[in-house]
Amino acid sequence: MTTLSKPLLVAARPLRRVRILAVLLLVAWLTFCILVSASSDVSVDVVADNATDTEELQTPPLDLRFEVPFNATQDLDIEYLVETQDLRVKRVLSAAAALSSVAPLQACPADGTSCSMREEQYEAAGLPSVQPSDRLVRADGVTVSIKSFEEVIDGPIGSVVVLPLFKASTDGDEHGDANVLSGFARIEIFHPTSLEFEPASSERKADIQEWKAVVAKREQEELERKIAAANDVAAREQEEQERRIAEENAKLERETRERLEKEELERLTMTPHDRISEKRAKGVEFRYEAEFPRNGPIGINWDLHTTHKTVVSYLEPKLRAFSLGIIAANDQLIQLNDVNTTAMGPHEVVAEYVNMAPPRTLVFLCAATAKKPSVVVDDASTPRIIQNWTLAFVEPQVLRGWHVRLHLVNWSAMPELDESSGHSSEMRLAQANSFLACLPLSPTAKSSRNDAMRVMHVVYRGECSFMDKADAVRQANGTAMLVLNNVKGEGRFPPGVPLTGNVPIPVTMISKLDGGIVLSVMERQEPIVKMFVEDPSELPVLDADPTPLTNQELAAARNVKVAGRNMTFWYINTSASSAATEEFLVLPALFGAKIPSMPYRIVAAYPQETACHHMGLGIQATRAVVLVKRGKCSFGAKMKAVQQVGGAGMLLWNSDESLIPLMTEKKEIAGLRIWGATISSSNGTRIQEILEANKNMPSLVNIAMGAQT
C-alpha cells in the first residue's frame, strides 16, 4: 500500500465523492417516502374521525327527562329564560335539597375493572336530584306552557293549557328573593251548553218565582198526563186481556157446545149398518134400526133378569136377527115402531111385538163403553209404573223440613233433577185462578221474591179429567201441577187412570189433609218446594208401638237443655191480616211416639180444657195438636183422650213456668201411638189467647227436629 503512486490517489478521490452523494440521495428519497406514508395514515385517521362524528350527529337524541314527586319540589326557585324560551331551575333551596340530595356518583376505575360499585350507588340513590339549570318540561304528563294568562284565554275553543304557579319567598339567600314553584293551573277554553243566572232585584225575583211556578205546574200536568196515559195503557191491556180470556172461554164453550150437539145429534141419528162395527170398536154411544118385515121368529132372547128395561141376552144362530150381523148382546131396545120402550121390561115388549102387524122396526141403543181399546188401563194384568216422590218444603218457616208423599202419574213428565243432589230446582206454589183448572188459566202473578223461579200450580180434584187440568196448567206456562185430593186417604191417582198420554210437565197428587195445610199457608204466604225420589226412611211415620226409653235416655230426656225443642207457632194476625210466627220451647214427653218435624193444626181442648175423657172434647182434631190444660187426671189419660178424637199430638199447658217431663203409669201407655210435649204457663196462655181470637182461622205448629239451638 505504501508503494502506491500519487496520481493514483488523486484519481481515487473524485470517485469516493460520487459514492457519498449517491448515498445521501438514497437517504433523502427514503425519508420522503416515510413522510408521505405518515401523511397518508394521518389522513385516513382524520377521515375516520369525521365519519364517526357524522354518525353521532345522525343518531336521535336520547330522552333524558326524569320525573320527581311534586312534594320534593316545593322549594325550587324557577326562572324564565327569554333566550331559550323555557323554565329553568335557578336555585335548589335547603328543604328541597334535603329531600332530593343524593351522594355524588363516582366514576368507574381507569383500569377498566367492574363498575359494580357505581351500580350499587344508582340503586341506593333512588330518584335523580333536581339541580340548577334543569329545565321544567311537564306536569303529570302535560307540557307546561310559558304563555301568559292573556295569551292562554285567547286560545281556540277546546284547548287545555297548564300554567305554573309561583309564590314569592323572602327567605332567599345572598342571591335575593325566590319564585318558589307552588302548583299548576289547568285552563280549559270551552263553550258551555247553558248558563245560570240569579235575579238580584225584588221585581225580578217575583217574576222568576212566578215563572218557576208555571213551569212546575206544566211539569206536574205532564207527569199526570204520562201517569194517566200509562194507567190507560195498563187498563186497556187488562181490558184486552180480559176480553181475550172471555173470547177464549166463549170459543171454548161454543166449541164444547158444538161438539156436544154434534155428539148428541150423532147419538140420536140412526147409524147406518155399515158403520155399526166401527162405532162399537170406538166405544161410543149410538143408535141403529133393525127391520123385520114379516111374522115369524126373529131369534132375539131378552135378559129376563133385567126388569126395568129390555136388553138383548143372546141371539139364536141362523135366525133373522143373527143373520143381520148388527145386533149384539147388552144392546137395549128403546123403540118398537112408534112405541117408546125405554122403560119397558122384556114381558111388556114381547106383548107389544105380538100385537103389532108387520113390518116391525126395532130401534136399539148401544151404550158407550167405560174402557176404550186404544187406552191401556191400570188393572191387575198391567204393571203399575206410577212412582212415589217426595215434596220437600223449603219456605216458609212453619213448613220448613216437611216431607210430603207425592203420587206422580206416569203419563206426565219426570221432574228434572240435579245430578249431584238428586233434587229438582226450587219451585214456588201458586194457586190457579180457576181452582179446578177445567178452563183456561190466566198467567200466574209474578213472585215478590224471584220472577225467574219455576211455578207449580196447585189445583183441586174434580169436574174434569186430570189430563184436562194438566193441559190447562201447561198452557199457563206452569212447570208442574199439584193436585189436592178431595177424598179421605192418601193422595193417589185412582185405579183406571190412563197410563198413556203426552203431558210435558210433572203431574202429582197429595192427600186431602196435607192439601188443607198447604192451602192454609198459601192464602198468606208463598211456599217454596222441591222434589226428589221418595226415600221411605225420610217420611214421618207414627210409631205403631213406641219403644220405651232406656234409663240413660230417660235421664237425657228430663234435661231441658238437652232434650228441649223449638216449636214454631204460625197464626193469622187479625189486626194486619197477615201471617205471623212465634217461637216457643217445648219438652217432649217421656212416653208415646217420637215427634216428627211436620206442620199440624193446633186446637184448644173444649169444652173440657183438661181433656180427661174424650167425651168431654167437642173439637175437630183429626191429625191435629190439642192444647190441654194440666190437672184433674194423669198425663196418660189426657193423651188417650186426644188420640180417641183423632189427634196426632198433645201439647200440655203447664201451671207454672217450668217444662215438666211428662210421665204416666205403665198401664196407660199401652195403645198410645201419638206424641206429647209440655209448654210453660205463659207460652201456653199466649197460644190460648191467639186461638180464642182466631176461632175461624187456621193456626199451625211445627216442632223442629233435634235439641234446641
One-character DSSP codes across 593-606: ----SS-EEEEE--
Closest to 675 measured CA to CA, from 612, 617, 625 = 625
**Greatest mean pLDDT among 385-394, 576-585, 682-691:** 682-691
Reading the block at residue 23, the C-alpha cell is 448515498
Q: How confident is the model at residue 257 (pLDDT cuts 50, 70, 90)?
A: confident
- Rounded to 5°, angle at Cα 522 from 516 and 524: 125
pLDDT at 642 over 70: yes
Average pLDDT of the chain, as a whole number? 80
Res 36: pLDDT = 53
Residue 582 backbone phi and psi in degrees, to 5: -135, 150
Q: In terms of DSSP H, where are the helices of 101-201?
A: 116-125, 149-153
> For 15-45, how does the pLDDT look when each residue is reduced to its tens digit (9 = 90+)?
455 566 666 777 677 777 666 555 455 444 4
Reading the block at residue 413, the C-alpha cell is 213428565
Q: Are 171 and 112 in contact (CB under 8 A)?
A: no
pLDDT at 315 over 70: yes
Q: How confident is the model at residue 666 (pLDDT cuts 50, 70, 90)?
A: confident
Higher pLDDT, 185 or 128: 185
Query: Is-cis flag, bond preceding 293, omega within 30?
Result: no
Reading the block at residue 105, the C-alpha cell is 356518583
Closest to 70 measured CA to CA, from 3, 139, 159 = 139
Res 659: pLDDT = 92
Q: Are 97 and 117 in contact (CB under 8 A)?
A: no
Name residues whose C-beta falls within 8 Å of residue 322's C-beta, 6 or more positions apart in sequence: 299, 315, 316
Res 312: pLDDT = 92
Q: How confident is the model at residue 239 (pLDDT cuts 50, 70, 90)?
A: confident
> For 285-296, how does the pLDDT look when each residue is reduced to its tens digit (9 = 90+)?
889 999 999 998
pLDDT at 491 over 70: yes
Q: What is the sign of the dihedral through the CA atoms of 86, 88, 90 and 92? A: positive
Reading the block at residue 237, the C-alpha cell is 191491556
**Greatest mean pLDDT among 57-61, 256-260, 467-471:** 467-471
- Provide the pairing of β-strand 649-653 with 675-679: parallel
Res 528: pLDDT = 93
Distance of CA 302 to the CA centre of its chain: 68
Q: How confident is the model at residue 431 (pLDDT cuts 50, 70, 90)?
A: confident
Taking the C-alpha atoms of residue 621 and residue 601, their distance in angstroms, rounded to an integer, is 8
- Rounded to 5°, angle at Cα 59 from 54 and 65: 135
Res 610: pLDDT = 92
> For 560-599, how does the pLDDT look when each residue is reduced to its tens digit (9 = 90+)?
888 899 999 999 887 777 888 999 999 999 998 888 888 9
pLDDT at 81 over 60: yes
Reading the block at residue 353, the C-alpha cell is 111385538
One-character DSSP codes across 626-672: EEEE--SS-HHHHHHHHHHTT-SEEEEE-SSSS-PPP---HHHHTT-
3-state SS, residue 185 = strand
The pTM assigned to this predicted structure is 0.46
pLDDT at 3 over 50: no
Domains of the chain: 64-93+131-165+179-200 (no CATH), 271-366 (2.30.42.10), 389-533 (3.50.30.30), 551-703 (3.50.30.30)
Find the mean pLDDT for residues 110-139.
Answer: 65
Longest dimension (CA), the chain: 213
Q: Are 566 and 585 in contact (CB under 8 A)?
A: yes
pLDDT at 113 over 70: no
Taking the C-alpha atoms of residue 144 and residue 148, their distance in angstroms, rounded to an integer, is 12
Q: How confident is the model at residue 48 (pLDDT cuts 50, 70, 90)?
A: very low
Higher pLDDT, 529 or 5: 529
Res 547: pLDDT = 77
Give the chain's radius of gyration (CA, Å). Answer: 56
Reading the block at residue 120, the C-alpha cell is 350499587
Res 649: pLDDT = 94
Reading the block at residue 641, the C-alpha cell is 183422650
Q: How confident is the model at residue 231 (pLDDT cuts 50, 70, 90)?
A: confident
pLDDT at 110 over 60: no
54-63, 271-280, 308-317: segment of lowest average pLDDT: 54-63
Q: How confident is the model at residue 383 (pLDDT cuts 50, 70, 90)?
A: very low
Find the mean pLDDT for residues 60-84.
Answer: 79
